[in-house]
Amino acid sequence: MERETRKGDAASQQRMKWALPLLLAAAAWGQTRYPHHNLTLNLGGVVGLADLARYTEPSTVLGGGYGYRFHRNFQADIGLDTAFGAARVRDFLNTSIGIFRIKDRQYFVPMGARAILPFGGGKAMAYGGGGFAYMRYSEVLRQPSSYYRIDCPDCASRSGWGYYSQTGFSVFVDRARMFRLGLGARMYRGHTEGLGLGNLPGVRTRDRWVSGLVELGVSF
């Protein structure tokens, strides 16, 4: 009986010898797992500064982006932000089928990366980053329908390059850690040139935009 007991104890010790490394490996895997693909929808307000302060007004900005998280603490980003009516364009185009309003849009394409600091066991994260940005401001004609489009020879546009910086935080709201809510801020700086748009003169300008954003994200 004593011999069988010793054999049982030895078998238990052998199982523990293999179980402990497996448990440690599982714990390490749980700490290093993170979603690689991250889609984000942004909604907020934006204001033009520097040379734009005299010629623009605060407006709504809507955007979205995709980020590939190639490391637990780093992610590559690309996106598109659109501001509505910041240049205060209030023009009309008279055509043979009616009068159509001309409005303005500001488009921003950020291309860069961010550093990520997870906390709360990975349930929440803070981030900061930046990179290059393409900026284009355009007058657009309100079209009569999606099937019939009218050209707008009087619509002006201007564009240029610069850079952006951003910061914010987000929190996963489900146990599967797929859906995120957060707040962020983004700043664009650069130069644009081209035709005059609204009250903005047709010269090279020093542009700065600052936005505050509410973020809705999906990660997988």
Question: Residue 88 pLDDT > 90, yes or no?
Answer: yes
pLDDT, averaged across the chain? 89
Tokens in use for 11? 């078998």
Cβ(133)–Cβ(122) below 8 Å: no
For the segment 94-111, the average pLDDT, to the nearest whole number, is 92
Tokens in use for 160? 């240029």
For the segment 181-195, the average pLDDT, to the nearest whole number, is 98
Q: Of residues 100 and 216, which shows the higher confidence score? A: 216
Cβ count near 154 (within 10 Å) = 11
Tokens in use for 135? 């900026």
End-to-end Cα, the chain, rounded Å: 55
Q: What is the pLDDT of residue 1?
A: 54
For the segment 2-6, the average pLDDT, to the nearest whole number, is 52
The tokens 């078998």 sit on which residue? 11
Assign 18 a pLDDT band (cuts: 50, 70, 90).
low
- Taking the domain 36-219, which CATH number applies? 2.40.160.20
Cβ(107)–Cβ(217) below 8 Å: no
Secondary structure string (H, E, C) spanning the chain? CHHHHHHHHHHHHHHHHHHHHHHHHHHHHHHHCCCCEEEEEEEEEEEEEECCCCCCCCEEEEEEEEEEEEECCEEEEEEEEEEECCCCCCEEEEECCEEEEEEEEEEEEEEEEEEEEEECCCCEEEEEEEEEEEEEEEEEECCCCCCCCCCCCCCCEEEEEEEEEEEEEEEECCCCCCEEEEEEEEEEEEEEEECCECCECCCCEEEEEEEEEEEEEEEC
Q: What is the pLDDT of residue 96?
A: 78
Q: Where are the chain's structural domains?
A: 1-33, 36-219
